[in-house]
Amino acid sequence: MSTQERASEAEELDVVIVGAGFAGIYALHRARQRGLRARVLEMGDGVGGTWYWNRYPGARCDVQSTFYSYGFDADIDQEWEWSERFATQPEIERYANFVVDRLGLRDGIRFDAEVSSARFEEETSLWHVDAADGSSFVSRFLIMATGTYSAPLAPRVPGADTFEGQSILTARWPHEPVDYAGKRVGVIGTGATGLQVISAVSKEPFGHLHVFQRTASLTIPSGPLHLQPDDVRALKARYPQYREDAKRSSIGAIWEDPTVAIDAIDDAALHDEMQAMMAKGSGHVFTRFTDLATSLEANRRFIGYLNDRVRARVNDPELAELLVSRDPVYGVRRVLHEHDYYEVYNRDDVTLHNAKAKPILEVTPRGVRTEDGEIELDIIIWAIGFDTGHGALRRIDVRGRQGISAQDALADGPNTYLGIMLDRFPNMFIIAGPGSPSIRSQMITSIEQHVEWVDELMVRMRERGEVAVETTPQAVEQWTAHVNAVVDNSLVGLDRTTQYFGANVPGKPSAYLAYMGGVGPYRDICEAVRDAGYEGFVFTEADGSRTTASESWSGAPEGLVARSPFGARVI
């Protein structure tokens, strides 16, 4: 079919939304509330995004379920009942489906429709979008709700496709049950996913479990798994206020204000504080201390305390030393919440392999090979992570002005304005894109803020008859410099070997993938940009005339105090 024929058959819309995860669902709802013709294109056959694909055993959220949920609809907050403190993947997927049906959104989602290309047409300021199922769309706006952990990495070990057993990528876990009975199971990777898989598989009737660990993760015991009905009732009574407070918080969720400086207390007092916080739940440990963001000594003692807990739980001291974290600072990697993880290594039928000292050299038809020889396996589980942040965006052929591809626009790094827009991609918005709090925040709070901000922008344009909005190279440069300055001025900048710097993907530029100034300060900045007439943006009217309040961003407010609990300091 010719391009012209396709275009004539294309469905005409105001907004195409790519992805039916939490961002796409809410973007569809807002667009419909505004009377915009909108459609979501989703490559899977269900909603939930990350929580649809990552159906591996043990998958659960480590943010308390009553916090990790939409806050935009007070009725939904009252109607939905979470069954556990840390919701499992099936429950979160059920929640996403509940919201979609409750808001009547399902008929706006086209499933099994993977977007293959999107092209901005300069003459009309319209986007032309094609999906792999043959469907085509023309729309004014393109919302990339493509997710941040949605481009799973494929195994890069030589011979990976020669394995004759069952090879499973955690982010593409089969819908059918996996039979572990008597099998030799290998798990590769010990990040957030790996730890959950290992704990879950350890309860199955496997023959032998081999764990291949390259880097030990820093962990905190998750604490009580059950929600107390009284706590839920109390939260529901003040949910609207909680949601408002969360929007202005450092991370997009609230436990308690930090009040205790580790540097000011002795080891016995630190022990008491940690015990008390862990008994309440992992989130309380996160936010208890005032100086984890600023003091290396506080970090040394905090990490030391958690590592000593690991040593106390693992019988073999040599194994224990392998399992303790070597992170220089809390938060450089994701701090994981675990329940019964370390006890797994006290079993005779579990072997921990040091994949840093002795990497997996190749996958063979019968297993994997290290310098110690072949380890025979029946199942290999790859929990090896993602092309974090904008990985999914980079995998779509998206073309902006003069045919520039998103890959080229992002080749030098995750350079965006506010994490929302790329230079030369008019009318295209990224939800929770790189350079916004996104992956270092309570994701749903951040998603809602972006969707609402973009929604207001689209409404303004409709009211004024503007056909295009785009950011400027100056604004992108200024914002990127600010994002980098915050990280460089923080303790998380000390370790650039993490996925947050893109280090897990060969060739990806080394740049932090999130804004570390905190959810509340970031929201203030976005609102200030809006209130200044959308500085850093240029609008085009139907007659081609262009207007702008300012092509530059006027910068962060004087004395902005970064409020991320992951180690950002005063800027």
C-alpha 439: how far from chain center: 4
427: left (phi over 0), alpha (psi -120 to 50) or beta: left
Beta strands in 109-207 (DSSP E): 109-110, 115-121, 126-131, 136-144, 166-169, 184-188
325 vs 499, which CB is nearer to ligand NAP?
499
**Which residues on adjacent β-strands are paired with residue 177?**
none
Contact string 189-228 vs ligand NAP (x = CB under 6 A): xxxxxx-x---------------x-xx-------------
**Which residues on adjacent β-strands are paired with residue 386?**
152
Q: Please identify the residue of the shown chain whose CB is closest to the bound ligand NAP.
A: 191
C-alpha 514: how far from chain center: 10
504 vs 550, which CB is nearer to ligand NAP?
504
Q: For strands 350-354 and 208-213, give the pairing.
A: parallel
CA distance 3 to 119: 12
Which one of 227, 360, 418, 519 is in contact with ligand NAP (CB under 6 A)?
A: 360
Which one of 24, 385, 389, 435 is in contact with ligand NAP (CB under 6 A)?
A: 385
Q: Is 187 in the site for ligand NAP (CB under 6 A)?
A: no
Contact string 135-174 vs ligand NAP (x = CB under 6 A): --------------x-------x-----------------
61 vs 118, which CB is nearer to ligand NAP?
61
Q: Is 66 in the site for ligand NAP (CB under 6 A)?
A: no
Token pair recorded at residue 455: 């929604």
Sheet containing 546-547, strands listed edge to edge, beginning at the edge strand earlier in sequence:
466-471, 537-541, 546-547
CA distance 418 to 438: 11
C-alpha 335: how far from chain center: 14
Residue whose token pair is 């429950």: 91
Q: How many residues bind ligand NAP, per CB under 6 A? A: 25
Contact string 489-518 vs ligand NAP (x = CB under 6 A): ----------x----x--------------
In the complex, what is the shortest distance from the CB of residue 442 to ligand NAP, in angstroms, rounded to a whole number?
11
- Three-state DSSP state, 334: coil
Angle in degrees, CA 250, 516, 152, rounded to 5: 110
> How far is the first Cα of the chain from the last one, in angstroms, to the nearest whole number?
55
Angle separating helix axes 89-102 and 22-33, nearest 10 degrees: 10
385 vs 536, which CB is nearer to ligand NAP?
385
Segment contacting ligand NAP by CB under 6 A, of 115-123, 130-138, 379-387, 505-513: 379-387
Contact string 279-318 vs ligand NAP (x = CB under 6 A): ----------------------------------------
88 vs 139, which CB is nearer to ligand NAP?
88
In the complex, what is the shortest distance from the CB of residue 337 to ligand NAP, in angstroms, rounded to a whole number?
7
CB 443 within 8 A of CB 520: no
333 vs 424, which CB is nearer to ligand NAP?
333
Interface ranges with ligand NAP (CB under 6 A): 61-62, 149, 157, 188-194, 196, 212, 214-215, 334, 355, 360, 383-386, 439, 499, 504
